[in-house]
């Protein structure tokens, strides 16, 4: 029901009563913290953690606005390196999710409608289990005594190669990133593929297209809005992930999320932590904007 459908003269008071409480709550619990983060990123660190005041009556204490943390971020390559590594990790995660999700989504979309719901349910259910448990499960699967580790190292031994540690590695981080984000790719793809008109494929076949051509020139281009929606849904949370590297990664597998956590909870340099948050936010907004734009452009062909 849009406004056009519903010219409502009594809307005045009701509108404020209904929208006021959630609006005020989120103004306090979402908008204000976001504003404070921006301010903090331009502040000096406080003497005992926290922030130095912006204004003070004592001119001897550190106070005011500064670009110091931003300069610090760009001056030391290690931070930019962690950002690049996180973006690469999130990109790999997205690509692997896409290649795993596509056949599955295609299968579900082409199944008889009664079977579709159950197949989708089977994708969503593991997702309903706790996030930490899903990560922890990989600790067992990749552990040094696990069947998988023994198998891989047994094969390596046959070829005379040194055994590898699967756990606490970039590999473990990547596999868990794919695991926890996979449903985010399957669902938008499925929603898109389900809407395709099967007559298009018949037409393509009548015009002499083989199975491969039908996929690349009909199904895939039409599914791009779903691909971009899934990309945003996987890439964005993967980029900000901190629990997976914390649990399954080695010492060198720190991502942006771990860096932010460290600034807030360990080093307690909040201005720098806030700066990193802002940088992550900018990266996320760029991805969201890009995927929305590409998705909309492709979508207009359908």
Partner 1 sequence: MYSRIGRCGAGLWAAALTVYVFLYLPLAIVVAYSFNDSRLNAEWTGFTWHWYQVLLHDEDMLIAAGNSLFIALVSSLISTVLGTMAGIAIYRYDFKVLNFMVMTPVAMPEILLGVSLLLFYIQVLNLTLGMLSIVLAHVAFSIGFVAIVVRAGLAALDVSIFEAARDLGASPWQTFRHVTYPLILPGMIAGGLMAFTLSIDDFVITFFTAGVGVQTLPLHIYSMIKTTVTPEVNAVSTLLMLLTLTLILAAARFAPDLLKGKY
Which 3 state secondary structure label does DSSP give 183?
helix
Nearer to partner 1, 173 or 182 (CB): 182
By the rule CB under 8 A, 289 interacts with partner 1: no
Binding of residue 222 to partner 1 (CB under 8 A): no
d(CA 286, CA 288): 5
Taking the CA atoms of the chain, what radius of gyration do you get in angstroms? Answer: 25
Q: List binders of partner 1 among 244-263 (CB under 8 A).
A: 246-247, 257, 260-261
For the chain, helix (H) and strand (E) counts, in that order, are: 14, 0
Residues 153-212 that bind partner 1 (CB under 8 A): 179, 182, 186-187, 190-191, 198-199, 201-202, 205, 211
CB of 122: closest distance to partner 1 in angstroms? 6
- Considering only residues 103 through 122, tell me which ones interact with partner 1, judged by CB under 8 A: 103-104, 106-108, 110-111, 113, 117, 120-122
- What are phi and psi for residue 47, nearest 5 degrees? -65, -40
Query: How many residues bind partner 1, per CB under 8 A?
Result: 98
Rounded to a whole number of angstroms, the minimum distance from the CB of residue 154 to partner 1 is: 15
Task: Indicate which single residue of 52, 72, 134, 153 sits in contact with partner 1 (rule: CB under 8 A).
Answer: 134
- Which residue matches tokens 């992930």? 241
Q: What span, in angstroms and rounded, lies between the C-alpha atoms of 179 and 261?
A: 22
Task: Return d(Cα 219, Cα 269) in angstroms, integer.
Answer: 50
In angstroms, the Cα distances linking 290 to 225, 236, 279 are: 12, 12, 17
Within 8-37, which residues bind partner 1 (CB under 8 A)? 10-11, 14-15, 18-19, 21-23, 25-27, 29-34, 36-37
Per CB under 8 A, the segment of 77-85, 157-165, 270-278, 289-297 that binds partner 1 is 270-278
Q: Which of residues 67-96 bind partner 1 (CB under 8 A)?
A: none
CA distance 301 to 292: 15
Q: Which is nearer to partner 1, 73 or 264 (CB)?
A: 264
Other C-beta atoms lying within 10 Å of the C-beta of residue 69: 23
């Amino acid at each position: 029901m849009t406004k056009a459908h519903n010219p409502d003269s009594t809307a005045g008071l009701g509108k404020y009563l209904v929208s006021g409480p959630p609006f005020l709550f989120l103004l306090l619990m979402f908008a204000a913290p976001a504003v404070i983060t921006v301010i903090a990123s331009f502040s000096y660190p406080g003497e005992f953690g926290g922030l130095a005041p912006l204004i003070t009556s004592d001119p001897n204490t550190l106070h005011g606005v500064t670009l110091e943390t931003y300069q610090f971020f760009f001056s030391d390559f290690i931070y930019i390196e962690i950002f690049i590594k996180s973006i690469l990790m999130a990109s790999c995660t997205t690509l692997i999710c896409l290649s795993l999700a596509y056949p599955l989504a295609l299968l579900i979309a082409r199944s008889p409608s009664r079977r579709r719901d159950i197949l989708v349910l089977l994708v969503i259910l593991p997702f309903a289990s706790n996030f930490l448990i899903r990560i922890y499960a990989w600790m067992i699967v990749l552990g040094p005594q696990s069947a998988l580790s023994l198998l891989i190292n047994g094969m390596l031994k046959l070829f005379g190669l040194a055994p590898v540690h699967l756990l606490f590695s970039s590999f473990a981080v990547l596999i868990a990133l794919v695991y926890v984000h996979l449903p985010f790719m399957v669902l938008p793809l499925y929603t898109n593929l389900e809407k395709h008109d099967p007559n298009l494929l018949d037409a393509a076949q009548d015009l002499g297209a083989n199975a491969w051509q039908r996929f690349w020139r009909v199904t895939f281009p039409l599914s791009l809005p779903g691909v971009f929606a899934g990309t945003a849904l996987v890439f964005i949370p993967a980029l900000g992930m901190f629990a997976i590297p914390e649990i399954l990664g080695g010492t060198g597998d720190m991502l942006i999320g771990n860096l932010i956590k460290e600034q807030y909870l360990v080093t307690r340099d909040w201005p720098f932590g806030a700066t990193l948050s802002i940088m992550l936010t900018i990266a996320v907004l760029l991805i969201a904007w890009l995927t929305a734009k590409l998705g909309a452009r492709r979508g207009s062909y359908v």
